[in-house]
Amino acid sequence: MCVREGAAVILPEPRGPLSADVVRALRADGEVRRDVEATDEEDFHLSLWLLYELHYRSFEGVDDSLEWSPPLLALRRALEEQFEAELRGACAPLVARAEQADGVPDQLAAIASFDSGTSLPLFLQREATRDQYLEFLVQRSLYHLKESDPQAWALPRLDGPAKVALAELQYDEFGGGRPERLHSRLFAEALAAAGLESSFGAYVNRVPSYTLAVNNAMSLFGLHRRLRGAAMGHLAAFEMTSSLPCRRLLQGADRLELPEAVGHYFDEHVEADAVHEHLASRGICGALVGAEPDLQSDVLFGAAACVHLDAVVAERMVDAWTHGQSTLLAEAGENVA
Ligand SMILES: [Fe+2]
Ligand SMILES: [Fe+2]
């Protein structure tokens, strides 16, 4: 099994005029045109994802100094304002309902227990074909190959018990002192064992906007100090909705007789995330709101954003599969069936 680490990410294919202009600007000096707008969700979220990735691994052939290019940052800001406003609108009902509970941990639990009516882990556990399960791994690769990186931006923005709890949680995610146990590495091994590409960004051209949006939300929250409450609320909801689903994903992988490394990744998260759930909800969010009460509504907003975007992903993927369609975008030049 071959796991490629640190391979350069190739700039993706544009999905419309805005992402085409961003790709062009990234290959040049960062000057974007001001008169170009995204034509649809695909064009919008790929553009935002491209701009965010400058802060992580960037792309082959792109000057590292473009991370702080004023025209690119101005465009990012405009896209973020639109995305954040949409998210806040979509999350308002969930947040209002959660606020009826007492205390941050119970409010987070109310959000985490939201049932959209479509469960992706349940589908993968019981019904998915092998190809559908592999599509799921491909879509998830965009996050899990840089697992926990977006939350790391929050560390210098926290202090005291919340900082200590986040460091403890991330120590696990980043391997607990052992490179071979980095969670991103475990996911890369799962991909490679399943015969898939294991380098970061290898599948970005196949991943639809609703999964890009999941990743963009984490970067939005992580890269803005003013959204540190949302970043930690998002993390809490992520961990609180992980342990039981990972058990289902493990059972799905076993049912389909996928290679052991696939089940191993999810097995690792059944127990780890049961611990992380408490660390994130009480240790991080409880302590953070205790220290900075004004952050409470953003903690709930971040948690609701996680649950809302996950529900969109579940609905879109299960809907496609039950109609016999692939959830992946066609590769350039490939005919869509
Ligand atoms: Fe993890
Ligand atoms: Fe975790």
- Tokens 């009460």 belong to 293
Chain segment 31-61, per-residue pLDDT in tens: 999 899 999 999 999 999 999 999 999 999 9
* Average of per-residue pLDDT values in the chain: 96
CA of 20 to the centre of ligand 2 (A): 35
Q: Domain residue spans in the chain?
A: 17-77, 94-322
What's the mean pLDDT in 272-283? 96
What's the mean pLDDT in 172-185? 97
Distance CA 78, CA 212 (A): 17
Superfamily of segment(s) 94-322? Heme oxygenase-like (1.20.910.10)
Distance CA 48, CA 77 (A): 9
Residue 248 token pair: 């289902």
CA of 240 to the centre of ligand 2 (A): 9
pLDDT at 331: 82
CA of 226 to the centre of ligand 2 (A): 24
User: How many helices (H) and strands (E) in the chain?
Assistant: 15, 0
pLDDT at 337: 39
Q: What band does 138 get if pLDDT is binned at 50, 70 and 90?
A: very high
* Nearest listed ligand to the Cα of residue 266: 1
Residue 218 token pair: 């984490």
Q: What band does 8 get if pLDDT is binned at 50, 70 and 90?
A: confident
Tell me the percentage of the chain whose pLDDT exceeds 90.
Answer: 95
CA of 80 to the centre of ligand 1 (A): 26
Distance CA 129, CA 305 (A): 29
Q: What band does 4 get if pLDDT is binned at 50, 70 and 90?
A: low
* Nearest listed ligand to the Cα of residue 146: 1
Which residues, in sequence order, are bridge partners of residue 174?
Answer: 182
Chain segment 234-271, per-residue pLDDT in tens: 999 999 999 999 999 999 999 999 999 999 999 999 99
Q: How far is CA 197 from CA 23, 173, 194, 256, in A?
A: 23, 21, 9, 20
Q: Smallest Cα–Cα separation from 27: which of 43, 11, 39, 14?
A: 11
What's the mean pLDDT in 259-287? 97
pLDDT at 333: 56
* HSE of 80, CA atoms in CB hemisphere, 13 A: 20
